[in-house]
Amino acid sequence: MAQALIEALNLEVHYGGIAAVKGISFAVEEGEMVCLIGANGAGKTSTLKALARMIPARGEIHYGKERIDGTPGYDLIRKGLALVPEGRGIFARLTVAENLSMGAYHRNDTADIAVDLDKIYVMLPRLKERAAQVAGTLSGGEQQMLAIGRALMGRPKLLLLDEPSMGLAPLMVEKVFEVVRDVAAQGMTVLLVEQNAKLALELCSRGYVMESGSITVADTAANLLADERVRAAYLGE
């Protein structure tokens, strides 16, 4: 295997007295697309927020050769670690174009930013058509694409995606997943959190199953798709 781009060791997240993440360990290799599946409340969002250093956590987090569990979240954006949060977190009153440029706020390579913006408009033509539209008036699927596009404007190495399909109509889910597939095909490392386990496993090479704050199964996506317990609990079979 290639070197791990991100690795968590005994990661724990507590909210007051509640343990939401109970000492999990996992890794994503460079160029891999890995998913974290599990029911509502399993601790998936807490895990991603802990990796992005948006909430306090215990345990070790390694990013490339660096240990980052003491690094502030804003420094990680500079280092290429981008989280597309659950619920998207776009700036509703700003236009599509303004939201995209916010994604590059920490960069000063102006010419390359323009090149990246063009690439994103090619990949997401819907955003180009709506460049001047206020983001709050976009459909849910368009907002999700904007959130992904904004993260890509930061030229991330690692993209953490939290429930990109949430609340979207089936056709829009397909489109958003196509974008995620495109992004992964360009060689970006992706950690995808999804309640839609079937879609996630069809897209990823490996997966972790999270239950009540612990990782209970770790396997290839093909094995997880064939696993009786996974099928019964997460694939509605």
Ligand X SMILES: Nc1ncnc2c1ncn2[C@@H]1O[C@H](COP(=O)(O)OP(=O)(O)O)[C@@H](O)[C@H]1O
Judged by the rule CB under 6 A, the positions of this chain that interact with ligand X are: 15, 18, 20, 38, 40-46
- Which tokens hold the place of 108? 């000063």
The torsion angles phi and psi of 176, rounded to 5 degrees, stand at -65, -40
Q: Which does 38 bind (CB under 5 to 8 A by kind): Mg ion, ligand X, none?
A: ligand X
Where is 37: in which H helix or E strand?
strand 33-37
Q: Which does 18 bind (CB under 5 to 8 A by kind): Mg ion, ligand X, none?
A: ligand X
Report yes or no: 120 and 152 within 8 Å, Cβ to Cβ.
yes
Report yes or no: 221 and 206 within 8 Å, Cβ to Cβ.
yes
Beta carbon of residue 163, minimum distance to ligand X (angstroms, whole number) = 7
Q: How big is the site for Mg ion, counted in residues (CB under 5 A)?
A: 3
Beta carbon of residue 196, minimum distance to ligand X (angstroms, whole number) = 13
Beta carbon of residue 41, minimum distance to ligand X (angstroms, whole number) = 4
Closer residue to ligand X (CB): 11 or 20: 20
* Residues 83-142 close enough to bind Mg ion by CB under 5 A: 86
Closer residue to ligand X (CB): 45 or 144: 45
Contacts 24+ apart (CB under 8 A), 203-208: 203/33, 203/35, 203/177, 204/33, 204/34, 204/35, 205/32, 205/33, 205/34, 206/32, 206/34, 206/35, 207/34, 207/35, 207/36, 207/37, 208/26, 208/34, 208/35, 208/36, 208/37
Closer residue to ligand X (CB): 104 or 160: 160
Helix ranges (H only) for 13-79 are: 44-51, 73-78
Cα 191 to Cα 33: distance, rounded to the nearest angstrom? 6
Beta carbon of residue 10, minimum distance to ligand X (angstroms, whole number) = 17
Beta carbon of residue 70, minimum distance to ligand X (angstroms, whole number) = 22
Site string (18-57) toward Mg ion, x via CB under 5 A: --------------------------xx------------
Q: Which does 46 bind (CB under 5 to 8 A by kind): Mg ion, ligand X, none?
A: ligand X
Which residues in this chain contact Mg ion in the complex, by CB under 5 A?
44-45, 86
